[in-house]
Structure 1
Amino acid sequence: MFLPLHDGVPLKNMKTPLATRFLMGLCIVAYLVTFYAPPGPDAVVGGLGFIPSVLFGTEVLPEGYPFVPVELTLVTNIFLHGSLFHLIGNMLFLWVFGDNVEDAMGHWRFVVFFLLCGAAASLAHAYITPEPHRPLIGASGGVSGVVAAYLILYPRVKIWGLFLKGIPLHLPAYWTIGFWFALQFASAFLGGDDGVGWFAHLGGFLVGAILIPLMRRRYDPVLARVQAQELQAPR
């Protein structure tokens, strides 16, 4: 297990990461609606969660479901979470890594980037999952894309995080994120918790790594300064 806590990289291109906070706000509101308002969590997950077999036409939901065209559930599922721990974990990652990735892209491009990574993660899950009838929910795929972008932008920035059973460590991003990615990879191919969309995590990470060179600002002074500091730092 790995939970990021703080990175300390200042924002240079904007004062406030509005898009990151907006996406976090949507996830929190969706969680509150899911569990504390009608029609209840089962109905919300059935209506807005992503079910691969429904997208592929091998299963049909009861009349009235999903609440949106099935293709849109590739995106709507991103904002749903199955538990408070699920929500808090994803929001921690988005809070620590999202602001600096947004700073390197701009508000609107970051929102598009996040949604593209999330939708791609949903598709990766759909084509690989052995249980296509189970709904997929959660921001993990979009967050994984953000994590990949952060790794490419700031590989040597040191991050405070909790590892394994809560051990606090302060390590470079390539170690912390590398450890996280190794856990996702091992869980996907060696048999992790069946209730987690491991291949969605990997799919979102891959698409994030592909998109960041295309969607970042043409010249990022934050990245330039960090790279200069890295070259001057003792090895």
Structure 2
Amino acid sequence: MFPLHDDNPTQDTSIVVYALILINVLIFGYQTSLPNFQLGEWLANWALFPKELIDNPSKEAIALISSQFLHGNIFHLVGNLWFLYLFGNNIEDQLGHWKFLFFYLLCGAIAGVVQVMTAPSSLVPMVGASGAISGVMGAYLVRFPRARILSLVFLGFFITAIPIPAAVFLSLWIAGQTVYAALANPNLPGVAYLAHVSGFAIGAIFMFLLPKSSRN
């Protein structure tokens, strides 16, 4: 399944979502312009390396934030930003601009810590906004379970668009991520599935516990 759009209009302009998308695109453009030797230095400075965070947490903690704005390739970038655009606008609408930004970065940072703890001696760099965006998706599940998400569904050689309740779409998504996380080796390069799962859980818990009076 691939989500196209939802039937959940917003009341306010999603300033933070658009700003995050723009910043990620600009950083990726700069990143891809670097020659290989400078790219290595760039990643060493801003990506999240589990062993370095464990060995020197006070110095490397900034990487829990900076790594959220780096991406491995164009598909990684576009996939992440599409999900942020689709699900983030409604959560920003609920939380307000500044609270949403704090929530987004916090989910990404906690997801990064959880992933690091599964492979604390790893020197494989971690990059991407997936943990933060998974948090947004978890919050969306709690707040808008009945919203419908028009999704492309692949049925063998046939592709069709079907409106799917958010509760169904997101439950299937997180179930798949959980299975992949259980099967993946966190010491090897690849997708940080556990960051997805933990970010999703943090976002869902945050929205569940948030008093209704704190929502817009």
Is TM > 0.5 for Structure 1 vs Structure 2?
A: yes
Q: Does 1:31 align with 2:28?
A: yes
Q: Does 1:52 align with 2:61?
A: no
The aligned residue for residue 10 of structure 1 is: 9
Deviation string 1:147-194 (CA, Å, 9 cap, x unpaired) is: 000011110111012345865332000111111111100100133895
C-alpha RMSD of matched pairs (Å):
2.4
Once the two structures are superposed, the pairs formed by residues 186-205 of structure 1 within 5 Å of their partners are 186-191=179-184, 194-205=189-200
Q: Does 1:75 align with 2:65?
A: yes
Q: Does 1:111 align with 2:104?
A: no
Deviation at 1:130?
Answer: 7.3
The aligned residue for residue 230 of structure 1 is: none
Q: Does 1:150 align with 2:140?
A: yes
User: Sequence identity of aligned pairs in percent?
Assistant: 34
Range that drifts further, 37-46 or 87-96: 37-46
Alignment gaps of 5+ in structure 2: none
Is the 1:148–1:205 Cα contact (8 Å) retained in structure 2? yes
Cα distance change of structure 1 residues 53 and 145 upon mapping to structure 2, 3 Å threshold: same
Q: Does 1:210 align with 2:205?
A: yes
Alignment gaps of 5+ in structure 1: 59-67, 222-235
Cα distance change of structure 1 residues 189 and 205 upon mapping to structure 2, 3 Å threshold: same
Cα distance change of structure 1 residues 175 and 126 upon mapping to structure 2, 3 Å threshold: same
The aligned residue for residue 172 of structure 2 is: 179
Q: 2:18 aligned to 21, 24, 34, which one?
A: 21
Say how many residue pairs are matched.
Answer: 209
Q: Which amino acid aligns with 2:178?
A: F
Matches of 1:123 and 1:167 in 2, distance apart?
38
| Partner SS, residue 213 of structure 2 | coil
TM-score (norm 1): 0.81
Cα distance change of structure 1 residues 214 and 25 upon mapping to structure 2, 3 Å threshold: farther
Cα distance change of structure 1 residues 131 and 156 upon mapping to structure 2, 3 Å threshold: farther
Is the 2:54–2:120 Cα contact (8 Å) retained in structure 1? no
Deviation string 1:46-99 (CA, Å, 9 cap, x unpaired) is: 2100001001118xxxxxxxxx93110011000100000000100110000000
Matches of 1:27 and 1:217 in 2, distance apart?
31
TM-score (norm 2): 0.88
Deviation string 1:15-50 (CA, Å, 9 cap, x unpaired) is: x10011111111111111111146643222221000
Is the 1:3–1:93 Cα contact (8 Å) retained in structure 2? no
Cα distance change of structure 1 residues 21 and 215 upon mapping to structure 2, 3 Å threshold: farther
Deviation at 1:10?
Answer: 1.1
Matches of 1:164 and 1:73 in 2, distance apart?
37
Matches of 2:133 and 2:67 in 1, distance apart?
13
Matches of 1:3 and 1:178 in 2, distance apart?
14
Is the 2:104–2:133 Cα contact (8 Å) retained in structure 1? yes
Deviation at 1:215?
Answer: 4.9
Matches of 1:46 and 1:199 in 2, distance apart?
22
Matches of 2:80 and 2:174 in 1, distance apart?
15
